[in-house]
A and B are shown apart, each in its own frame.
Chain A
Amino acid sequence: MLNKYTWWELVLLYLGVAVFLMFVLAPFAEAFAVSLRPLDGLFNIPYEFITDDMTFENYSIMWKSVPNLALYIWNSFFIACCVTILALICIIPAAYSFGRFTYRGRDGLLAMFLGINMVGAAVLIIPLYKLMLTLGLLNTYWSMIIPGAAFCVPTGIFLMRSYFLRIPKELEEAAYVDGASRLYTLWRVILPVALPGIMVVTIATFITAYAQQFLFALTFNSKDAYKPLPVGLYDFFGHQTVHWNELMAASLVGISPVLILYVFLQRYIVAGLTSGAVKE
Chain B
Amino acid sequence: MGQLSLRAVTKSFDKAEVIKPTNLDINEGEFVVFVGPSGCGKSTMLRMIAGLEEITSGEIVIDDKVVNNLAPVKRGISMVFQSYALYPHMSVYENIAFPLRVARTPQADVDRLVSRAADVLKLNERLKHKPGELSGGQRQRVAIGRAIVREPKVFLFDEPLSNLDAALRAEMRVELKRLHGQLKNTMIYVTHDQIEAMTMADKIVVLRDGVIEQCGSPLELYHKPQNKFVAGFIGNPNMNFLPATITAISPASVTVKLNDGNECTLPVSGDCKIGDEVSVGVRPADFHSGGNIKVIPDVVERLGNETVVYANTLSGAPICIVTGGMVTMAGGKEIAVGFEGQNAHLFRADGSAFERNVNLNELELTA
Contacts and interface: CB of A to CB of B under 8 A. Distances in A.
Interface in A185-238: 189, 192-193, 195
B79 interface: yes
21 contacts: A168-B83, A170-B81, A170-B82, A174-B81, A174-B146, A175-B102, A178-B98, A178-B102, A179-B71, A179-B102, A192-B89, A193-B89, A274-B88, A275-B132, A276-B139, A277-B85, A278-B86, A279-B82, A279-B84, A279-B136, A279-B139
A176 B84 contact: no
A107 interface: no
B78 A178 contact: yes
Nearest to B75: A177
Nearest to B164: A279
A250 to B, nearest CB: 42
Contacts of A277: 84-88, 131
Name, among A193, A195, A274, A276, the residue most crowded by chain B CB atoms within 10 Å (CB to CB): A276
Interface in A256-280: 273-279
Nearest to B74: A179
Nearest to B129: A276
Interface of A: 168, 170-171, 173-180, 184, 189, 192-193, 195, 273-279
Interface in B61-79: 71-73, 77-79
A276 B136 CA distance: 9
B79 to A, nearest CB: 5
A177 B52 contact: yes
Which 8 A/B pairs are nearest by Cβ-Cβ distance? Answer: A276-B132, A179-B73, A276-B131, A170-B85, A174-B85, A178-B99, A278-B83, A275-B132
B108 interface: no
B133 interface: yes
A173 B81 contact: yes
B50 interface: yes
B14 to A, nearest CB: 12
Contact of B77 (A168, A171, A177): A177
Nearest to A274: B88
Given A170-B82, A178-B99, A273-B89, 20 more contacts: A168-B85, A170-B85, A171-B85, A173-B81, A174-B81, A174-B85, A174-B146, A176-B71, A177-B51, A177-B72, A178-B78, A179-B71, A180-B102, A274-B88, A275-B132, A276-B86, A276-B132, A277-B87, A278-B85, A278-B86
B78 A171 contact: no
B85 A173 contact: yes
B107 interface: no
B131 A177 contact: no
Interface in B85-114: 85-89, 98-99, 102-103
Interface of B: 50-52, 71-73, 77-79, 81-89, 98-99, 102-103, 130-134, 136, 139, 146, 150, 163
Contacts of A173: 52, 79, 81, 85
A25 B93 CA distance: 49
Contacts of A180: 98, 102
Nearest to A179: B73
Contact of A276 (B71, B79, B133, B163): B133
B102 A189 contact: no
Contacts of B78: 177-178
Contacts of A170: 81-83, 85
Nearest to A169: B85
Nearest to B78: A177
A177 B99 CA distance: 9
A192 B235 CA distance: 46
A189 B87 contact: yes
A189 to B, nearest CB: 6
Contact of A193 (B73, B87, B98): B87
B359 to A, nearest CB: 43
A179 to B, nearest CB: 4
B84 A278 contact: yes
Nearest to A278: B83
A195 to B, nearest CB: 8
A179 B87 contact: no
Given A176-B52, A178-B78, A179-B99, A171 B87 contact: yes
A179 B163 contact: no
Nearest to A181: B102
A275 B139 CA distance: 12
A177 B139 contact: no
Nearest to B133: A276
Contacts of B51: 177
B109 to A, nearest CB: 16
Contacts of A175: 87, 98, 102
B143 to A, nearest CB: 8
A199 B136 CA distance: 30
